[in-house]
A = this chain, B = another copy of it.
């Protein structure tokens, strides 16, 4: 069994800083890069972004939707991108936000975390609407292979509060779920979105955290610091998608955007003394 995902992510953050590059080949971004709205275009965008950013980020998050929109051909492009990222020494997060139960959850886990799967990633994102216990098949596959399961606890969109702030035994669901994660498995981490206008969540120190929301979605590095600055043992990466990729397709411009983001992240971390 390889080292656990959280330890591998901590090492990558120590080596290359707390950035995760979100690879989102949306139709808008493909047009901006001069690429076709097709599986071929999505594959070319991912390949170019990975080649330019490999030395600058700890991890990459590949957003399955933007490949799935091209059907099986799109999934083929995602397989190639996952292979390229792994070959470049990048940790891969498959952002799939899957959610199901029993043998269906096991099949999704096999797809995204299974040994030998063409879609295998270092970590996968999942959604807990069916209960945290329903995610056990993901956890088992992750534990067996040194991979991670990142539970979307808080999303970065304003509509998310309707569900995430509902009360379970008098406490907001997002807090209840966060509190239970670490006790269930060291393979479990969380996606904690930086949602403008919502107060920082109280976090358990130890699990891996992925933070979307900085940049176009409206959150700042100061808010990143306010949410994660007190953690000592947890590896944390901030996901930047459009904030990086809108600088492309020129590799030097992509690298400059990553360097600027890394500097902003370092300034926040230094200010927090971590």
Contact = CB atoms under 8 A, between A and B. Distances in A.
Interface of A: 24, 26, 28, 63, 65-66, 68-76, 78-79, 97-105, 107-108, 110-111, 114, 117-119, 127-134, 152, 155-168, 173, 176
Nearest to A39: B72
Contact of A162 (B24, B108, B119, B133): B133
Given A132-B159, A133-B159, A163-B168, A99 B127 contact: yes
A79 to B, nearest CB: 6
A212 B168 CA distance: 25
B164 A167 contact: no
Contact of A65 (B68, B108, B130): B108
B100 A100 contact: no
Q: Which 8 A-B pairs have the closest CB atoms?
A: A131-B159, A133-B159, A71-B118, A72-B75, A166-B166, A65-B107, A72-B76, A129-B129
A133 B158 CA distance: 9
Contacts of A129: 99, 127-129, 152, 155, 160, 163-164
A166 B157 contact: no
A76 B70 CA distance: 11
11 contacts: A63-B107, A65-B100, A69-B108, A72-B72, A72-B75, A97-B100, A101-B156, A127-B130, A163-B173, A166-B168, A166-B173
A167 B171 CA distance: 10
B79 A71 contact: yes
Contacts of A176: 162
A22 to B, nearest CB: 10
Contacts of A161: 131
A131 B157 contact: yes
Contacts of A97: 98-100
A26 to B, nearest CB: 5
B159 A107 contact: no
B168 A104 contact: no
Nearest to A110: B69
Given A152-B129, A163-B173, A63 B104 contact: yes
A24 B99 CA distance: 16
A101 B155 contact: yes
A10 B133 CA distance: 35
Which of A65, A70, A117 neighbours the largest number of chain B CB atoms within 10 Å of its CB? A65
Nearest to A161: B131
A78 B72 CA distance: 9
A111 B156 contact: no
A222 to B, nearest CB: 23
